[in-house]
Structure 1
Amino acid sequence: MTRPTPPRYLQRDRRWHPPAYAPGYKTSVPRSPRQALVSLQNPTATELTGPSFERMTLGPHDNDLLMNFRQGTEHDGLPVGERIMVFGRVLDQFGKPVPQTLVEMWQANAGGRYRHKKDQYLAPLDPNFGGVGRTITDEQGWYRFRTVRPGPYPWPNDVNSWRPAHIHMSVMGPALSSRLITQLYFEGDPLIPHCPIVHTLNDPDAVRTLTAKLDLARSRPMDALAYRFDIVTRGQFQTYFENQG
């Protein structure tokens, strides 16, 4: 019996990712490393394997944010906002699907406010919207969420900074070392080119990897628009991860 070939990882192109220290994005200043990064030449078995989510049990509405926090009955209590679907594939660095991996997401409500005790934005909380979800990719790497489009919100980067509408995503990938935490923006949002976080990217193609594309063919008539967002966990075409070292 032959042993399986361990995963092969490609050198990350650091010109593709932004610098860890970006003064225009003020919170990167205290979070940036003070010493040179250390390259791990020989990954261990822990970094190359697992965990496995094949036997993980999910709730019936874990990937449906219209339903998983609602307080009302069958005919009321739905979240306020534009109903959307977000879907796509999780791929590895060679374009192969990553099946049975955990995809998690969190977002602000339609008014731009998070359900978090430290969020002091004046927009109201939605009693029927929790803002979090999770799912497992299928055998071809597909995932899907139903939610409401999040609203933009101000943040204290400078006098008048606003975050574009966005959804945070966490993907474990094929191994612990390939976990990706990123965020998606929505195609056509006029706030994207004004965002100080987006300004840390030097390549327009990197911004495009963060932009979910409208897919009218997958939309539900009289119900919800659909946006496609594919995620690459590692390698040359890896989906951008802000402040990645």
Structure 2
Amino acid sequence: MRNDPGDARPFIPRDLALHPAAFDPGYKTSVLRSPRQALISFQNTPTEITGPMFGHDTIGPLDHDLTRNWAQPGLSAIGERIIVHGRLMDGEGRPVPDALIEIWQTNAGGRYRHVRDTYVAPLDPNFGGCGRTLTREDGSYAFMTVRPGAYPWPNRANDWRPAHIHFSVFGHGFAQRLITQMYFEGDPSIPLCPIVGTVPDAEGIAMMTATLDMDATVPFDARAWRFDIVLRGRRSTPFENRPEGN
């Protein structure tokens, strides 16, 4: 386990006002899967404030590099090369080291490598669309990837998802589990998306939006986007589509 239940402290409660509502008529699949009764809060138990421990030997040398981890030797994924980086912090602003972060995304054309994705955009034979890494001692992380494309989805007559990257975070306890989406600053599709619209206010959407970071850009190679993640507490990054989990 990650820590001793006798020494672990309860996590700071979430501010549900910042998180997506479980029921949102504009996001059609939420209508049937949302709970019909009010949520009930419980005190943290030892199984929630402890969690799995991940070792660096479980991470491959290219797991963080989506441009190469699926590519044939000497080849690379097609698209705008980007670096996605930031820090993982707890509700009190402290770094969360040795936490597993996994990401998945479409290719540059807006298509997932998934049997159920039937979008007409072609698959990239050198792009798998997923990666993982462990946070460093200061809570920092970084991925090399390509900027994902937008794609249509069958919600209403003409809905499109903005460019986004899915994040899955395993903190130091199961109550710090977080699944969220990262959007790109300046994307005009963000305010048009019904899934983004489930987040109740602009502050919550801003917490899910990466900012361009020219200081971390590699000249003539890749632009950088910064995306800091907060687990639990008032400033916690909103959970993807529903107010449970982190």
Q: Answer yes or no: same fold by TM over 0.5.
A: yes
Q: Using the alignment, how far apart are the partners of 2:216 and 2:112 within structure 1?
A: 28
Equivalent residue, structure 1, for 2:51:
50
The one-letter amino acid of 1:233's match is L
Q: Using the alignment, how far apart are the partners of 1:133 and 1:169 within structure 2?
A: 10
Q: Count the aligned residue pairs.
A: 239
Q: Using the alignment, how far apart are the partners of 2:34 and 2:166 within structure 1?
A: 21
The one-letter amino acid of 1:61's match is L
After TM superposition, list the pairs within 5 Å mapping 1:55-74 onto structure 2. Answer: 55-71=56-72, 73-74=73-74
Mean Cα deviation higher: 192-201 or 104-113: 192-201
Unaligned runs of 5+ residues in structure 1 are none
How many angstroms does 1:233 deviate by?
1.0
Q: Map Cα deviations across residues 101-135 of structure 1 (whole Å, 9 max, x no partner).
A: 10000000000000000001010110000000000
Mean Cα deviation higher: 234-243 or 11-20: 11-20
The one-letter amino acid of 2:170's match is M
Q: Which runs of 4+ in 1 moved over 6 A?
A: none
The one-letter amino acid of 1:159's match is A
Equivalent residue, structure 2, for 1:22:
24
Equivalent residue, structure 2, for 1:32:
34
Asked whether the 8 Å contact 2:10–2:49 carries over to 1, the reply is no
The one-letter amino acid of 2:243's match is Q
How many angstroms does 1:9 deviate by?
2.2
Q: Map Cα deviations across residues 81-119 of structure 1 (whole Å, 9 max, x no partner).
A: 000000000000000000001000000000000000000
After TM superposition, list the pairs within 5 Å mapping 1:1-245 onto structure 2. Answer: 5-41=7-43, 43-71=44-72, 73-74=73-74, 77-241=75-239, 242-245=241-244
Q: Using the alignment, how far apart are the partners of 2:178 and 2:58 within structure 1?
A: 22
| TM-score normalised per structure 1 | 0.94
Q: Using the alignment, how far apart are the partners of 1:5 and 1:95 within structure 2?
A: 19
Asked whether the 8 Å contact 1:92–1:174 carries over to 2, the reply is no
Q: Using the alignment, how far apart are the partners of 1:7 and 1:244 within structure 2?
A: 22
Q: Map Cα deviations across residues 125-176 of structure 1 (whole Å, 9 max, x no partner).
A: 1000000000000100011100000000000111110000000000111211
Mean Cα deviation higher: 51-60 or 223-232: 51-60
RMSD between aligned residues = 1.3
Q: Percent identity?
A: 57
| TM-score normalised per structure 2 | 0.93
How many angstroms does 1:197 deviate by?
1.1
Mean Cα deviation higher: 138-147 or 29-38: 29-38
